[in-house]
Amino acid sequence: MVGSVSSIHTANKNNAKTIRQKTIDKGQQGFILGAGVGAIAGYSKKSWLKNDKPSDKFVKQVSKEMEKTLEPQEKSELTKVNKFFEALLDYRTEPDELRQRIEKSSELSNAIIKKEGETTEVALDRIFNQDKPELKKELRHLQDRTVVDKKVNIYAAKNLIKKNFNKETKKFEKANDTTKEAFSIIKKAIKRTRIKTAVKDTFVGGILLGIGGMLIGAHELSKQQKAK
């Protein structure tokens, strides 16, 4: 009799394990299905549009793709320019460091506005002979005057997008004055944006259907336990 009761207990335990495993399996199946559906839906979206216009995120992506087309020397200078601007925004940065950054960058040095007859060094002496707040205020627009920044900044990206975006069809069409290389930047940005959206929707879809699968399995486990 004891053996019989033990056998029943073991059987119930194994059965419960089976149901739990089914719950996990359904959750995994739901995650895989949801991930697949999410990936397809995400990649298919016109995720570069917001309110039927190229989104700000897409503009930034185009700007990033434009940076990739720069020559090695230009990339090096752009890095110096960006680092300078970061230092400028940091209240802890001393004037001496800002001047050194300018002097080590041909882009920043050439962007210094010089009065008639001034050399870059003399102009820097004049500019840096100010209180720190006034100095930083004057240097705030230095980055915008660099040639390399103008090539890839947000305004350059917006201009490229504007020239090649058809407002009627909500599609990109190569303008006559846009080179194939420039238009390929837009196409790469679209692809990159699609991939990012697909990855995001993969996780969202997977989690949602994964939870759904777990709930179905849990419901079956609950019914099984109530029937005992």
How many CB atoms neighbour CB 206 within 10 A? 21
- The CA distances from residue 6 to 2, 9, 10, 17, in Å, are 6, 5, 6, 16
Q: What is the pLDDT of residues 141-191, one digit of tens each?
A: 999 899 999 999 999 999 999 999 999 998 999 999 999 999 999 999 888
Answer whether 70's CB lies under 8 Å from 148's CB: yes
Rounded CA separation 74/129 (Å): 30
Among candidate residues 222, 215, 223, the one with its CA nearest the CA of residue 27: 215
Statement: residue 100 has pLDDT above 90: yes
How many CB atoms neighbour CB 126 within 10 A? 13
Q: What is the pLDDT of residues 38-48, one digit of tens each?
A: 334 433 457 77
